[in-house]
Amino acid sequence: MSATVDGAPTVRSPAYLTDLALYRSDFRSYLRHLDWSDEWRGAVHSSAEAAMAHGATVLARLYDAGWNRYGWPEHIGGLGGNELHRAVYYEELGHAMLPVPAQHWTLETLGPALIKYAPTLAAASLPDYLCGKQWWGQCFSEPEAGSDLAALRTRGTEDSRGGLIINGQKIWTSQGPTAARLLALVRTGSTDSRHRGLTMVLVDADAAGVTVRPIALASGRLELAEVFFDDVAVPATRIVGDINGGWAVAMHLMQYERGMYGYAVLTAALTELAHLRPQLSAHGASAALRERFAHTYIDVLAAQARTAKTVRSLAAGEEVGPGSSIDKLLFSKVEKEVHDLIFDVRRDQIVAGDQSCTAAARDSARAQWWYSRAATIMGGTAEVQRGIIADHILQLPREKR
């Protein structure tokens, strides 16, 4: 251990790498005695930009203290450990009823792909992500290719130096309006090559030829963006994996999007329910509403048990494959279910407002509910996940058309 941060020692203990219980206990103690935890817990934001800025501050503090660096390899700014450390990290944030910084959602999805397929690029770029200095957007979906990634049309043409020239359009890029970089899947083979002709690249959002246009959601917040590439030069050092090998990178990434990301989402859902429970008691909720709360709580725990199995597999270095679609189905359904329950319990506050809810808190609650409408669509629609499960896990006969 070394110098103090926020009144607590900076943590660098080799014991945490083999003793998860010790890591959990000490991190819980750190959060319990944190003098800015109320500020973190009670923060409400009037815009997506403000929320991301606050999350960056939280990440910087946790990085300096060392806690969010466990579970990540040392060459990208981590302190060692594996996915189990990151799962405990999210669990303890939930136990302390602290919101997860939004940067974690994309870091959990994009980071592991770079670590495996572009270790040199990961070492150069991920430390700034881990400490909150920057975050990235995931550029997969296109106007005519959402869940069907093999139908992508954004084109990457090889140049004389081994790099690519990118042209095309992406849409629904999460955190796109504030992202410093974009992890994009582009077509380098023929349109008939489907998934065999795709390549993954990392592009600076301010690179020449890149245009980012924020998309206003129903809440009015600029959470997403459409991105245009007009002769954007991407050097060979920014190609993740092999040219025409992007499908393997994407499939590796999807395991984390549905495993680690899903586990983090579910711990956040439990935090939301913990905040909601006192309101049910205080306002004398009906028997039907209490029963609904219990069913929702059980659904969250069931989905979390499933994603926990996936997290353990990832920590063991195992490929999860199509089984991750089960995780996606469960946690996306539950995420929507939790926010519907919150809306119905707090309907008067969220819709009309009252003295117990500030305007900023009401706006934030509304934004969260609106965003949850997309839970069963983003990252691959529920229908597509059911198709994957039917084809690759249950081995059901294909539908005749």
Q: 84: number of CA atoms within 13 Å, CB side?
A: 16
Burial of 190 (0-12, 13-18, 19+ CB in 10 A): exposed
Of 105, 136, 351, give the one whose Cα is nearest residue 238: 136
- Do the strands 164-174 and 181-187 form a parallel or antiparallel pair, or are they unpaired? unpaired
DSSP 380: S
Nearest Cα to Cα of residue 174 among 110, 116, 126: 110
Q: Cα–chain-centroid distance for residue 39?
A: 23
Q: CA of 101: how far to CAs of 24, 47, 87, 94, 154, in Å? A: 19, 14, 14, 12, 31
Round to whole Å and give the CA distance between 77 and 126.
7
Q: Which of 83, 92, 142, 257 is catalytic?
A: 257
Say which residues have a Cβ less than 8 Å from residue 278's Cβ, sequence separation at least 6: none
272 is catalytic: no
**Beta-strand pair 8-10/2-5:** antiparallel
Residue 259: both structure tokens together: 């495993």
**Residues forming the active site:** 257
